[in-house]
Structure 1
């Protein structure tokens, strides 16, 4: 594959433009809809790497690892802002922390053993559930407050494990789960941002280690983290997020949320079809 031997100038320019567009798209949707960047970045990178004919054995690993690395600065920035606004609940974060860390470690270990098709299937399934939740906003109640120690550890483990395997921050899964436990939405969002730090840093390091020396990687990759993607996506996302916030006041956010849910559904179905074809 040409990409393995070295990028031609035209192909490099096209890759940079595509990565820049990915960051802008993720930033706008993050500001507009309040969704985490990973749920946008992973499917877009997956489609981009498919177009570039990146080998299937590393395609999803690269998308997930690169996404986790891009989440680090954005989650740090977001958590800091929520903390100063008082919307980060330290006691909730501390209670969930052991389970989240356990889930991240398990997710990293499993990602090293799973074929890319397994990671694709996991993302496709959970993304479909997230899309349904975004499109229809079903009401579900898990009780009032966190469950006991074992239940809270299991809840944190599920958030950390699936988020690591999917390359997403903690907010995509933790926010609806915490809200279903009667945590006010703004506190669920703030706490989810802090959880994203715990997931993204060790998760990205784990994907670097797991992918070290792997064949068929894109140039400028450190394990399963593509440094070119990281360097372009992060600034573009940080730049475009305020655009999405401003746009939210000028358009119907609920309709756009449904359109993004449709994008996730179509992406999920495309991934499923790719698995069975």
Structure 2
């Protein structure tokens, strides 16, 4: 089992390198790559197939806590975070993040990959057509904002992502300037990831089928491997933005996500 854990750790070092580069270049959430990659890697590391999707989602969210937290800190320093907006979204995204982990525990295991696949399919289509939503509508009242945050939180937790792909268009639709929308989304994403991670950890506590070195459904060898390299390569990905055709790469990546989501949906 130790050999399996070491092998997975090494694979996740490579995975984290790619995730960091893509996140830096394309501004995508790492969960879109981490979850399907772990779904493929975990069974090869001897993880029970009944646990694979839960571990993949939980470990992805745990990695996003650190990456989104780092991104949010940078945006705060740059003045890109409007705390009044984050405060209005926070109750909804936190409840939604927890709710997503509860739903994941309740639905049949074989349905989780299909739910993930549908979410990724929709996000990939949005990325492919490069939709830019903007408007001058004010943010809705507290109740509607909390409900919107709840939907974002549930969907993000079920997909193991930070929710930037949902939060940024939502804020842009309500007239929030793009830099502030991205900054607010990064902090909101960290809140979603923390809530979802806590939910998955709580749900997995006491499950004797989980592998050693797990905290609930979070598998530490995978988490440490991903974070160690992704936190480093993100800066290199950001440096490549001005040298590479980012929009072309984004469309290629969207097509890749379409293939992945179709494969996961069909099983």
TM-score (normalised: structure 1): 0.90
The separation in 2 between residues aligned to 1:88 and 1:119, in whole angstroms, is 33
Q: How many residues align?
A: 267
* 1:54 correspondence with 2:47: yes
1:36 maps to what in 2? 29
1:70 maps to what in 2? 63
> Aligned to 1:214, what secondary structure does the other structure show?
coil
Segments of 5+ residues of structure 1 without an aligned counterpart are: 1-5
* 1:24 correspondence with 2:20: no
1:206 maps to what in 2? 199
* 1:196 correspondence with 2:189: yes
Structure 1, 260-269 or 168-177: larger mean CA deviation: 168-177
1:146 maps to what in 2? 139
- Work out which of the residue numbers 154, 161, 168 in structure 2 matches 1:168: 161
1:137-159 Cα shifts (integer Å, max 9, x gaps): 13556761322222211110011
Structure 1, 18-27 or 144-153: larger mean CA deviation: 144-153
The separation in 2 between residues aligned to 1:116 and 1:220, in whole angstroms, is 22
Segments of 5+ residues of structure 2 without an aligned counterpart are: none
What is the CA-CA distance between 1:74 and the residue it aligns to? 1.4
What is the CA-CA distance between 1:7 and the residue it aligns to? 3.6
* 1:127 correspondence with 2:120: yes
**Cα distance change of structure 1 residues 273 and 250 upon mapping to structure 2, 3 Å threshold:** same
- Once the two structures are superposed, the pairs formed by residues 239-254 of structure 1 within 5 Å of their partners are 239-254=232-247
What is the CA-CA distance between 1:105 and the residue it aligns to? 2.6
What is the CA-CA distance between 1:135 and the residue it aligns to? 1.1
* 1:222 correspondence with 2:215: yes
1:3 maps to what in 2? none
The separation in 1 between residues aligned to 2:135 and 2:55, in whole angstroms, is 35
TM-score (normalised: structure 2): 0.93
1:21-58 Cα shifts (integer Å, max 9, x gaps): 11011100000001112222112111212444633321
Give me the CA root mean square deviation.
1.8
The separation in 1 between residues aligned to 2:173 and 2:254, in whole angstroms, is 20
The separation in 1 between residues aligned to 2:80 and 2:247, in whole angstroms, is 23
Kept in 1, the 8 Å contact 2:98–2:198? The answer is no
Kept in 2, the 8 Å contact 1:56–1:116? The answer is no
1:96-129 Cα shifts (integer Å, max 9, x gaps): 1111122123222212212332221221111111
